[in-house]
Structure 1
Amino acid sequence: MPVPVAPGRLPVLGHTMPMLRRRYAFTASLRNWGDIVRVDLGTMRTYFVTNPRLVHELLVTKGSSFRKGALFDKFQPIFGNGLATSNGVFHRRQRRMVRPAFSGERLALHAGTMARAAAGLAATWRPGEVRAVEEDAQALAVTVVGEALFSTEMGERAVEEVRRSIFTVLKHGMVRAVSPSFVEKLPLRGNREFDGAIRRLRRIVLDVVRGWREDGADRGDLLSMLLMAQDADTGAGMSDEQVHDEVMTLLVGGIETTALALAWTFHELAAHPAVERRVHDEVDEVLGGRTPTFADTRKLTYLNQVVDEVLRKYPVWFLMRRALAPVELGGVVLPEGAEVIFSPHALHHDPASFEDPHRFDPDRWSPERAATIPRGAFVPFGLGARQCVGHLFARTEILVVAATVAARWRLVPVPGKPVRVKFTSAAYPSGMLMTAVPRN
């Protein structure tokens, strides 16, 4: 029988939110206290789920009993009511309308954009040139998502504004979300930069949307798909405001995840020469010198394992859900409105699920070993009905870009210049200086 939560029923921890690096260690340590741990974050009572089986239950089996939590409440006034922040019937409706934009047929078209963008970047490199790889990865992610979203002349202006503003949004967004509400009203430089970037992006995206309404042609881009989408039950489409909110969701989610994963992929390949050689051999065999396609991404089996290992090692720090009604989880009844937290980073580094979890080991994703990983232990894009709708787009981009670059170049770390890591919503590399060395 489920046991109601009562004083002393769960381990209770107070937490005053120390430095970011220590936050990662704190969330990882919670598994030592139990499967569900009550953590009081100031005045907010939260329930931290550490067991992957219960995380799977939270996201999949009983996913309909939860909505997005307090963290996303803070994001909603900033990014609107897109898929990342909406809930309930409206979220299900929007997901049905957006999903066709990421069909296999559309991904095959976008893979061509990804390969061209990667080849274009690689063509600008010179032998022996030192590159700031995290900056190249960020610029490339903006190019790919921008070109996939916008294909008109006005769209080119939008992409330039995205280049200018999106990383200001990403830099300050998590700080804004976890800070008390009064902080965002203070006359701080970070607040001014963030608010200005949001205003500029909103203006240009709405300009592009209105221009498309006047034109009305299907240009094959993601924006066309959003504007032509109709609800299967009512035949209604999205308003300009809703299209703006979905575009902002795709920009923020699509750029941050892939930029981080690409930078860390090149870092890990350089740090593990045997892994790098296997990737090069596979790329040479599968591609034979030609440009990768969407179909090739399935054939690059070892590179897929490398990407899984990068996504395991460098995920987001934590995500939240809120109980819609009293719900039993792991023998504990969580009350209505309970804020529930789980940490992809902690799950991905749990030694009970992943042997020697801090070691970079793509072979842990071989079919035999991957089959032993518990459900709920690997959640780079979430699970269930709230899984990131663009997860296949992101994965395709990482594979196509990594294969395109690996066919031409090696990236070698600059001696004496270790990578610095900034811990916010994820591990951001800084100063990832690497020398471009032609493979031939």
Structure 2
Amino acid sequence: MPVPAAPGRLPVLGHTVSMLRRRQLFTALLRNHGDVVRIDLGTMRTYFVTNPRLVHELLVTKGSSFRKGALFDRFQPIFGNGLATSNGEFHQRQRRMVQPAFHRRRIAHYVDTMARAAADWTAGWRPGQVRVLEEDTQALAVTIVGEALFSTELGRHAVDEVRRSLFTVLKQGMVRALSPSFVEKLPLPGNRAFDEAVARMRAIVLDVVRRWREDGVDRGDLLSVLLTAQDQDTGAGMSDEQVHDEVMTLLVGGVETTALALAWAFHELARHPEVERRVHAEVDEVLGGRTPTFADVGDLVYLKRVANEVLRMYPVWFLMRRTLTPVELGDAALPAGAEVIFSPHALHHDPVSFEDPYRFDPDRWTPERAGRIPKGAFVPFGAGARQCVGNLFAQTEIVVALATVAARWRLVPVPGKPVRVKFTSAAYPSGMLMTAVPRN
């Protein structure tokens, strides 16, 4: 329970592990106990930052004083030393080498893949057909990221393996990261499925990398950028192992966020007919029946607001950092080596930053209203030097996929089949059954 803050002390919450099962409520209520709240998670002392201004300091203005935290330490043996888990000068070097893969010129090229994949997804739909939407959007996100990564015939086999294994890795990986270390050594079905999925993905990614090196042709895909990248100081490229780690990072980061955002977007459009009507009107006006291009994305203004609102309402549950040196955040003096937590979900639903935060309201992203949102209050892709390198790719993918589908179809919830939610790293819909209805 909360301990009143004495002079020079932080409020402390103890015995909180059972409360964490009520994740949303727990993290949302922490703001009532201060800007920085000490939490004892078993034997690990952590500091939970609830104030968006201090989160901005944590990620941006004082970002160099932090590295990835304990949660990412648990992921490192799984995903290697990619951008999501690496730190320090090595992370900075890798980011400089990976960043060109997500230049706006490259994104414009990938839009064709996004639109084609979304069109292929709906090509086989029949009027009145019931779709399991979370499965559909997961498959679509894997196809888009996989085809952007791998353009060869062997690459298509890699995409098939990613489609088969990635969500086992994502879900079981989070379970493993949040469990005591001894659990991963137990002969449990989830552990076996996870280890087998990781081994299969590792083998096929390294095989694609090896064959690319033998061929040596730049095919314009993400893998080509990774394999031809050179460090600006030394001229050295990435090893096969490092390319594998970055591919895994891009797959994990590029699939989960967009798959969830697309599923929840169609859910919210169905719940808000006026929002859906405005989306259809804009798509009809901008596209006129055409397949969307990169140039169209800038004109789909309302659809981008819808995407932002979905990213606000359905972000990851929490992220962690660790102090490299003693750091002051507000009135809190954090020692070196302190584990620091912040919750994008709690920040995105803070009524101080967002009026009526549990209401789906795309118009909160008009320039006038969005300009009043405090720094640090909206962090779907993080911020600062460690902001997700593929954030523009993901935002573009959401808009292009929504526009492609909305041009021809509506998705209507199946009566009497409420959507269940399963939390791992974020809110996963389970049993999101929706009926495909042609717009014409």
Q: Give me the TM-score of the superposition, normalised by structure 2.
A: 0.98
Cα distance in 1 for residues equivalent to 2:159 and 2:227: 18
Cα distance in 2 for residues equivalent to 1:171 and 1:341: 21
Match of 2:381 in 1: 381
Match of 1:333 in 2: 333
Match of 1:368 in 2: 368
CA offset at residue 20 of structure 1? 6.0
- 1:203 counterpart = 2:203: yes
Consecutive unaligned residues of structure 1, counting only runs of 5 or more, are: none
Consecutive unaligned residues of structure 2, counting only runs of 5 or more, are: none
Match of 2:289, SS state, is: coil
Cα distance in 2 for residues equivalent to 1:430 and 1:53: 34
Match of 1:44 in 2: 44
Q: Which amino acid aligns with 2:185?
A: K
Match of 2:253, SS state, is: helix
Q: Which runs of 4+ in 1 moved over 2 A?
A: 5-8, 15-21
Q: Which amino acid aligns with 2:237?
A: G
CA offset at residue 21 of structure 1? 5.2
Give deviations 1:180-222, integer Å, cap 9, x for gaps.
Answer: 1000001100000001100010000000000000000001100
Match of 2:10 in 1: 10
Structure 1 residues 157 and 30: alpha-carbon distance in aligned structure 2, compared to 1, 3 A threshold: same
Contact kept, 8 Å, 2:133 with 2:263, in 1: the verdict is yes
Give deviations 1:142-183, integer Å, cap 9, x for gaps.
Answer: 100110000111111111110110010011111110111000
Figure out how many residues of one structure are paired with residues of the other and give that number.
436
Match of 2:75 in 1: 75
Q: Which amino acid aligns with 1:103?
A: H
Cα distance in 2 for residues equivalent to 1:420 and 1:438: 26
Structure 1 residues 73 and 189: alpha-carbon distance in aligned structure 2, compared to 1, 3 A threshold: same
CA offset at residue 8 of structure 1? 6.8
Match of 1:169 in 2: 169
CA offset at residue 393 of structure 1? 0.5
Match of 1:433 in 2: 433
CA offset at residue 71 of structure 1? 0.3
Cα distance in 1 for residues equivalent to 2:308 and 2:19: 28
Contact kept, 8 Å, 1:20 with 1:423, in 2: the verdict is no
Cα distance in 2 for residues equivalent to 1:283 and 1:8: 56
Contact kept, 8 Å, 1:14 with 1:39, in 2: the verdict is yes
Correspondences of 1:211-226 after superposition (within 5 Å): 211-226=211-226
Match of 2:253 in 1: 253
Match of 1:328, SS state, is: strand
Contact kept, 8 Å, 1:53 with 1:376, in 2: the verdict is yes
Contact kept, 8 Å, 2:19 with 2:26, in 1: the verdict is no
Percent of aligned pairs with the same amino acid: 81
Q: Which amino acid aligns with 1:407?
A: A
CA offset at residue 241 of structure 1? 0.2
Give deviations 1:257-291, integer Å, cap 9, x for gaps.
Answer: 10000000000000000000000000000111101
Match of 1:379, SS state, is: coil
Q: Which amino acid aligns with 2:135?
A: E
Cα distance in 2 for residues equivalent to 1:202 and 1:6: 51
Q: Give me the TM-score of the superposition, normalised by structure 1.
A: 0.98
Quote the RMSD (CA, aligned, Å): 1.2
Match of 1:411 in 2: 411
Contact kept, 8 Å, 1:266 with 1:411, in 2: the verdict is yes
Cα distance in 1 for residues equivalent to 2:18 and 2:113: 42
Match of 1:26 in 2: 26
Cα distance in 2 for residues equivalent to 1:345 and 1:422: 15
Contact kept, 8 Å, 1:21 with 1:423, in 2: the verdict is no
Cα distance in 2 for residues equivalent to 1:166 and 1:188: 19
Cα distance in 2 for residues equivalent to 1:65 and 1:15: 29
Match of 2:47, SS state, is: strand
Give deviations 1:385-428, integer Å, cap 9, x for gaps.
Answer: 00000011111110000000000000000100111110111000
Match of 2:14, SS state, is: strand
Contact kept, 8 Å, 2:322 with 2:338, in 1: the verdict is yes
Cα distance in 1 for residues equivalent to 2:430 and 2:24: 18
Give deviations 1:90-138, integer Å, cap 9, x for gaps.
Answer: 0000000000000011001100000000001111101111111111100
